Amino acid sequence: MSLKSERRGIHVDQSDLLCKKGCGYYGNPAWQGFCSKCWREEYHKARQKQIQEDWELAERLQREEEEAFASSQSSQGAQSLTFSKFEEKKTNEKTRKVTTVKKFFSASSRVGSKKAEIQEAKAPSPSINRQTSIETDRVSKEFIEFLKTFHKTGQEIYKQTKLFLEGMHYKRIHPVGRARWLKPVIPALWEAKTSGSRGQEIKTIVANMDLSIEEQSECAQDFYHNVAERMQTRGKVPPERVEKIMDQIEKYIMTRLYKHVFCPETTDDEKKDLAIQKRIRALRWVTPQMLCVPVNEDIPEVSDMVVKAITDIIEMDSKRVPRDKLACITKCSKHIFNAIKITKNEPASADDFLPTLIYIVLKGNPPRLQSNIQYITRFCNPSRLMTGEDGYYFTNLCCAVAFIEKLDAQSLNLSQEDFDRYMSGQTSPRKQEAESWSPDACLGVKQMYKNLDLLSQLNERQERIMNEAKKLEKDLIDWTDGITREVQDIVEKYPLEIKPPNQPLAAIDSENIENDKLPPPLQPQVYAG
């Protein structure tokens, strides 16, 4: 029996979807159950603690360096060879530290004047000036036309957006992770009163730093937050218009950054994509009944809704803007609600939605699913993920993926034996008897299931033959061993004795000593006839 008699649906309390800090916004597994706002607060607390520790370290190093410099200055008149060696040792140690930093960052050139340095930092790189794609061109024109309606505010927004893109690009032109270990201490070093070669070294380090994908995400989230806050406080822009402007800003910057921040090589996003795809392929046998999905695909309208939902979730990968990817998830979810409503003739509930979404993901197996989820989490406008239907549907999608990754026999109300057989492909629960087919069913589908049933029967027969062959082989081995043991027992019980050969018998015509009184042998005689 494949299914247990007791059915248990997939239930997720709505409180489980909310931020675990209790702020009322939707949480996200990528943020450890926090919403975007609370996660940023926790992240900043941890980062400020790290910066404080690094600041103390920087001050201590600075004091040691100043003390060493003062000591060397006060002893310039001394001619002692021992002290000269000590001073030389300190100087060599300082030089070694600077050389080590240079090896890590290898600055190509230094600019003498501050003006030239600023111009070099703001100068767009050749890759920014490269020929952009048609879509990037179109989005740029739409963004400029959209901002023209805001006059001065639009000009300021465009300026800040361009500066943000140039800054993101400038920090990407060097190999990833060169200065990752030094980034937390940079704010402390930058604010310190440094000058001369030390100050120049710090500027060189900052100029050559590169950001990880998490830090790029933090930069984007900070930019969203600062621009929205500035429009509301300084520009007195209504919240509705702020939301529209933020959508256009996100579309503009993420269209240009997409190829650099979507599934970057420095993360394990691709590895997670392959793992979830392999997992979904292994679960292709899961039926709607196992998940308690309240959808009847025999109804043509419901079947069309299911196909549209699968199309939307697959189409998500073709979009470049996080908001557009979210829109695909929202359209998919609405098709699911409509399919449930048509099947049940009543509005769908949240308990009906999540199992059906899981079924759609299993049936569609969307490409690069984990990469798309991570991309939305990192670079989408946080207000969309915290509230509204987009945030609700996205949170449910994250829950569906987490359920698929941890799905086991108990989750599907199956025995462990049946679950293992289905996972190994030995059998399938999707068999359907010929009598149960509707007259309008596709002939090709009928033939396919008939062939699958025949293959299953052949597989069972082959397994029986192999088992019988192995049993026969074992019996023959046991029989041979038994005969061998019996022969050995008989040989041990009745050992073979080899006696010497007997004397050869005397010939008939030989001399007979013992019976010498016997008459002589008859001689042949000839008779005349």
- Verify that 344 and 400 share a domain, yes or no: yes
Range of the domain at 472: 448-479
Q: Are residues 397 and 332 in the same domain?
A: yes
DSSP labels for 470-509? HHHHHHHHHHHHHHHHHHHHHHHHS----PPPPPPPPPTT
Are residues 324 and 403 part of one domain?
Answer: yes
Name the domain boundary from 434, 463, 479.
Answer: 479
In this predicted model, what pLDDT tens digit does every residue of 33-53 receive, in sequence order? 666 666 666 666 776 677 777
| Mean pLDDT on 131-160 | 85
Residue with tokens 């299911």: 306
Strand (E) or helix (H) holding 261 = helix 239-261
**Domain shared by 310 and 416, yes or no:** yes
251: confidence class by pLDDT, cuts 50, 70, 90: very high
Both 372 and 465 in one domain: the answer is no
CA distance 523 to 510: 17
434-447: per-residue pLDDT in tens?
455 666 667 787 78
Any domain includes 486: no
Question: Is 464 found in the same domain as 418?
Answer: no
| Helices marked H in 365-514 | 369-379, 382-386, 388-406, 416-424, 443-493
> Which of 100-109, 270-279, 310-319, 391-400 is least confident?
100-109
pLDDT at 327 over 90: yes
Q: What is the mean pLDDT of the segment spanning 355-375? A: 95
Identify the weakest region by mean pLDDT among 193-197, 312-316, 405-409.
Answer: 193-197
Identify the pLDDT of residue 151.
83
Residue 373 lies in a domain: yes
Q: Is residue 298 part of a domain?
A: yes
Domain count for the chain: 2
Same-domain pairing of 411 and 452: no
- Residue linked to tokens 């939707």: 26
User: Residue 317's domain is classified under what CATH number?
Assistant: 1.20.1050.80
pLDDT tens digit sequence for 475-526: 999 999 999 999 999 888 888 777 777 766 555 555 555 666 667 777 887 7
The predicted model gives 368-373 an average pLDDT of 95
Residues 453 and 356 in one domain: no
The mean pLDDT value for 82-104 works out to 52
Residue 512 within a domain: no
Q: What is the mean pLDDT of the chain?
A: 76
Q: What is the pLDDT of residues 210-225, one digit of tens each?
A: 578 888 888 899 999 8
pTM attached to this predicted model: 0.61
> Is 9 contained in some domain?
no
Output 429 or 23, whichever has higher pLDDT. Answer: 429
Contact 376, 327 (CB under 8 A): no
Does residue 454 share a domain with residue 354? Answer: no
| Residue 188, pLDDT score | 44
Query: Are 372 and 366 spatial neighbours (Cβ–Cβ below 8 Å)?
Result: yes
DSSP 38-88: HHHHHHHHHHHHHHHHHHHHHHHHHHHHHHHHHHHHHTSS---HHHHHHHH
Looking at the fold, whether 331 and 463 belong to one and the same domain comes out as no
Answer yes or no: is 38 within a domain: no
| Cβ–Cβ under 8 Å, residues 296 and 343 | yes
Same domain, yes or no, for 352 and 466?
no
- Statement to judge: residues 277 and 354 lie in one domain: yes
Q: Is there a domain that residue 502 lies in?
A: no
Q: How far apart are CA 339 and CA 306, in angstroms?
A: 7
Within-domain flag for 203: no
